[in-house]
Amino acid sequence: MKKRLTIFFLVVAQICFGQTGSISSKGFYIPKNIDECNTVLNKVLGKKAKEKLKLASRGELYRVRGLWVIGEWLENDSTRLSNYFKEFSLTGQDFFEREFLIALSYHNFINNQPFDIIFESKKITDRRNAIEREREDRYKINIKADSIDGIFIPPNLNTCFIELDRLLNDTIKQEIRNINDTIFIGKYHMGLGRWMRNNWNLWGGSRLQVYFSDRKIFHPDDMSGIILESYAKYLNGETFDSDEIIQIIHTRHLEFMKKLEESMIISEIEPVMYNAERFYPKEYRRFLKTGKIKDFSILYF
């Protein structure tokens, strides 16, 4: 009987809260639109916080941190406030933009100024789309360029070796010849490997990045790892086909990661229990306890 009652209440809770997303996981009410945000903030914010928001400039509202209740409202992309913002093409990736719009709306509310969510959200999405178009245009140029920001971009693996020969001194080359592959990759991943990923534009797009993508290697870490390991073989005079060695190294890496995952054993020892909330910032713990926000911070760089 007790089990049936438990299941019943869980189902009721899901119907009442889960479908509408009106209550956060910590029990806070989630507004359904920007006007309700103003109403709830008016109850949650203390005098000092209200005054600070009232006097804040638009630029400062972009840097507001510590309005903890907004995190409850947008704790995942399924709450009803999150769904409300999706109507204006703003999702979880736009968390700070959504937080800004909520702060700006309340700022205008307490200053008796109008606020147009359609107009303000469009300014944000238009700016984001312009940045994305610029990034796409730059990508189209970079994947065909022989150099980016004055740095030569190798078009293939063999040219990587030639360029590394030019860039590295004899001491480093000798070290690479004599070092174990695994140790070598670990040692140089965050040094020479990072330099290649950043300067050869393996993250943002380059002809070398396209070269690897065409060979089904998509992550920059894998690209730099393959270059490093095959360069060590090249320095030791080993002859190999570029496409073949890329697939051999990549397959070995995948097999290693698979074995690593399979070998991970969940400890049978009962985990030590602790109160996670004690690691929260003091102000957040106070908010969780009282449901009130006395003050917040504005980041300055």
Q: Give the pLDDT of the chain (301 residues) as one tens digit per residue.
A: 434 433 333 333 444 444 457 899 999 999 999 999 999 999 999 999 999 999 999 999 999 999 999 999 999 999 999 999 999 999 999 999 999 999 999 999 999 999 999 999 999 999 999 999 999 999 999 999 999 999 999 999 999 999 999 999 999 888 888 766 555 566 777 888 999 999 999 999 999 999 999 999 999 999 998 998 899 899 999 988 999 999 988 888 888 777 767 776 544 444 544 455 667 788 999 999 999 999 999 988 6
**Are 74 and 106 within one domain?**
yes
Residue 213 counted as domain residue: yes
**Are 129 and 174 within one domain?**
no
**Are 194 and 172 within one domain?**
yes
**Are 185 and 102 within one domain?**
no
Residue 139 counted as domain residue: no
Residue 176 counted as domain residue: yes
Q: Whole-structure pTM over 0.85, yes or no?
A: no
Residue 114 counted as domain residue: yes
Q: Structurally, how many domains does the chain consist of?
A: 2
Residue 29 counted as domain residue: yes
**Are 128 and 178 within one domain?**
no
Q: Which two tokens stand for residue 16?
A: 């009442």
The last residue of a domain, from among 204, 225, 240 = 240
* Range of the structural domain that residue 61 is part of: 16-134+289-298
Residue 247 counted as domain residue: no
**Are 25 and 103 within one domain?**
yes
Residue 265 counted as domain residue: no
pLDDT value of position 301:
67
The last residue of a domain, from among 240, 260, 278 = 240
* Residue 231 near residue 177, CB atoms below 8 Å: no
**Are 113 and 172 within one domain?**
no
**Are 177 and 123 within one domain?**
no
**Are 119 and 173 within one domain?**
no
**Are 195 and 114 within one domain?**
no
Q: Which two tokens stand for residue 238?
A: 């080993």
Contacts of 38 (CB under 8 A, 6+ apart): 105, 106, 109
**Are 21 and 121 within one domain?**
yes
Residue 283 counted as domain residue: no
Angstrom CA distances, 291 to 69, 79, 182, 197, 208, stand at: 8, 19, 52, 46, 53
The last residue of a domain, from among 224, 240, 256 = 240
**Are 22 and 130 within one domain?**
yes
